[in-house]
A and B are shown apart, each in its own frame.
Chain A
Amino acid sequence: MSIWQKLASLDRRWIYSLMALTVIIPLVFPPKLPIQITVEAQKLFDAVNALPDSSTVMLTFDYYASALPETEPASRGALHQLFRKNCKIVTMTTIPLGGPSIAERVTRDVAKEYGKEYGVDFVNLGYKANYVAVLQGMGSSIEMIYPTDNMGTPVADLPLMRNIKNYADIDFIFVVADNAIVDYWVSIVNAQYGKPIVASVTAVSAPKYYPLVASGQMLGLLGGMRGVAEYEMLIKTPGTATRGMGAQSLAHFMLIAMVLLGNIGFLLTRRASTGGRP
C-alpha cells in the first residue's frame, strides 16, 4: 500500500486531533501575525467615529450563544467605542435563547469600566417575539413593543427612555447578528425610516452583506471573527477575536494543505488504479 493509499484511508479522528492541536498551540503560544484592515471594517469604524458625542445608539444582540466567539467581541468593541463617545445605548434582541442575558452581562460588564449607569446611560430592552412586528412596531412606539425592560422595570420609569419614543429619537443602529435579521434591519428600518446601519455578522453570512455596503445601504460591515479582530485593532482594544487570529490563520493553512494533499492523493491513486489511462 502506497503512502497516498494510506492517507486516503486515514481515520478521520487523526485529522480532528491534528486540527485541535493546530488551534490549541497558537492559543497557548500566540504568534505575531499582522492584521490588515479591510475597507468595510474601516468604514464601520469611521461611521461610528463620526457620530456626535452623546448620540443615541441602538445596539442589537441578535445572536445565539452558539455564535459567541464571532459576535460577543463585536458587541464588546461597539460598547467600548460608543461609551468612549458618551453615547446613550439602547440594547435589544430578537433572539430568545441567550440574547437577553448576553446583552445584560456584556453591557453591564463594559459599562462598569466607564462608570456608566443603568437607566441613564444605557438600557437593555430584552427580547420580544416576532422580529418583523418588533422592527416595524418600534417605528411607531418603542414603549408599545417594550412596555418594560429586560428586568421588568417599566420603560417609562427609565430616565434614558423618557426622550426615546421611536426610531426618530435613535441616531444610529449597530446590529450584531448571526442570522438573516440584518436583511430586515436594512429593508425595514434603514429603507423605511432612513436610519444609518452598520453590522457585524458571522462569517457564514458575511458574503451576503458585502453588496449592501457597496450600495450604501449599510455604512460598514465586520465579517466573522476576522472582521471583529480588525475592529479591535481600530478601537485599540485587543480582545478575544485578536487573540484567535493566530489559531485561525494556522487552521486555514492546515485545511488548505489537507485539501491539496487529498486531491493529489486522489489523482495519484486513480492514475495507479487505471494504469495511467485518464
Chain B
Amino acid sequence: MTETLSLWQHVEIWLTAFVTIALFSFLYKDNPVYKFAEHIFAGLSAGYYVGLIAQSVVWSMLIDPLAASFTDNWLLLIPGGLGFLMFSRLTPIGPIPDVSWISRWGLALVVGVTAGIFIISQLHGLVMPQVRDTFVSLDPSQGTLKFMTALMSFVGVIATLVYFYFSAERRGALGGIAKMGIWFIMIAFGAQFGYTVMGRVSLLIGRLYFLIHDWLGASVGSLFR
C-alpha cells in the first residue's frame, strides 16, 4: 500500500485495526472492549444479512417480477406465500392465536426438494466416483512406488471399513484388522489437525500483516511522513 490514502481509507483502516485489537484483547482476558467489538459484529452481520436477502431475493426475485408482469409470473406467489408462512412461527402475537404449525409446510417443501437433490447428486457425484477410484490395480509390475501406494490405499480402505463393522465381536483376525483401521483413522485425523493448525496460523498472519503493513505502515506511518 504505497499510494496516498484518502480520509475515508484512513477511517476504514483505523476502525478495522481497533476491532482487530479489541478481539485479540480476549487472549489476555475477557473485557468490555472485546464484548463491544463482538456485539458490533453480531449486530452488523444480522442487519447486513437481512438487507441482502431482502434486496437479492425478496425484491429482485419476487416483487420486481410480479410488478413487471403479474400474469406471466403469478406462480411466484406460491413460493412467496410459503416463505411468508414462516413468520407464523412468531405466533401467538396479540389477538392472533398460535398457528406456528403452518410454517412446517414451507419447511417440508424445502427439506423434500433438498433431500431429493442431495441424495442423487451426492451418490452420483461423490460416492460412486470415489468408490470407483478405490478399485486400484495391485499388479506389482506397475512399479514399486505405484504398487506400494495402491497397496496402502487398498489396506487402508479395507481396515477402516472393518473398524466400522460392529456386527461381530472384534477377536482374532477381525480384531487385528480393526486395530489397523484405527491407526489409519488416527493418521488421517493427525493430517487433518495439522492442516487445521496451518489454517489458524494463516488467519493470525493475515491479521498481523494488516496491523503491521496497512495500519502501522500505511496509515500511522503517513502521519509521520
Contacts and interface: CB of A to CB of B under 8 A. Distances in A.
Interface of A: 13, 16, 19-20, 23-24, 27-28, 66-70, 96-97, 100, 126-129, 132, 136, 147-148, 152, 183-184, 186-188, 190-192, 202-204, 206-207, 211-212, 214-217, 223-226, 240, 243-244, 247-248, 251-252, 255
Contacts of B57: 128-129
Given A147-B60, A183-B126, A214-B133, A69 B121 contact: no
B28 interface: yes
Given A23-B204, A191-B125, A240 B48 contact: no
Interface of A is mostly: helix
Interface in B114-169: 114, 117-118, 121-122, 124-126, 129-130, 132-133
Contact of A24 (B202, B206, B212): B212
B205 A27 contact: yes
Residue among B27, B48, B198 with max Cβ neighbours from chain A (10 Å): B198
Interface string B42-58: 00010011001100110
B204 to A, nearest CB: 6
Interface in B205-225: 205-209, 212-213
Given A100-B52, A132-B117, A225 B205 contact: yes
Contact of A207 (B124, B130, B191): B191
Given A127-B56, A211-B130, A70 B208 contact: no
B196 A20 contact: no
Contact of A129 (B56, B202, B207, B212): B56
A248 B201 contact: yes
Contact of A192 (B64, B121, B207, B209): B121
Given A27-B205, A217-B129, A248-B198, 9 more contacts: A66-B203, A129-B53, A132-B117, A147-B60, A147-B64, A187-B125, A187-B126, A207-B192, A215-B133
B188 interface: yes
A70 B212 contact: no
13 contacts: A67-B203, A69-B202, A69-B206, A132-B118, A148-B60, A187-B125, A191-B129, A204-B196, A211-B133, A225-B198, A225-B202, A247-B205, A251-B201
A128 B56 contact: yes
Contacts, number: 139
Contacts of B205: 23, 27, 69, 225, 244, 247-248, 251
Contact of A70 (B28, B122, B191, B203): B203
B175 interface: no
Given A67-B203, A211-B130, A187 B209 contact: no
B65 interface: yes
Contacts of A247: 201, 205, 208
A244 B206 contact: yes
B197 interface: yes
B206 A204 contact: no
Interface of B: 27-28, 45, 48-49, 52-53, 56-57, 60-61, 64-65, 114, 117-118, 121-122, 124-126, 129-130, 132-133, 188, 191-192, 195-199, 201-209, 212-213
A90 B52 CA distance: 20
B81 to A, nearest CB: 17
A190 B208 contact: no
A235 B207 CA distance: 25
A224 B199 contact: yes
A252 to B, nearest CB: 7
A248 B202 contact: yes
B31 to A, nearest CB: 13
A127 B126 contact: no
Contact of A215 (B48, B129, B199): B129
Contacts of B207: 69
Contacts of B117: 132, 136, 188
B65 A147 contact: yes
A225 B202 CA distance: 6
A97 B49 contact: yes
Contact of B124 (A16, A128, A191): A191
Contact of A187 (B49, B121, B195): B121
B41 to A, nearest CB: 10
Given A97-B48, A247-B205, A184 B121 contact: yes
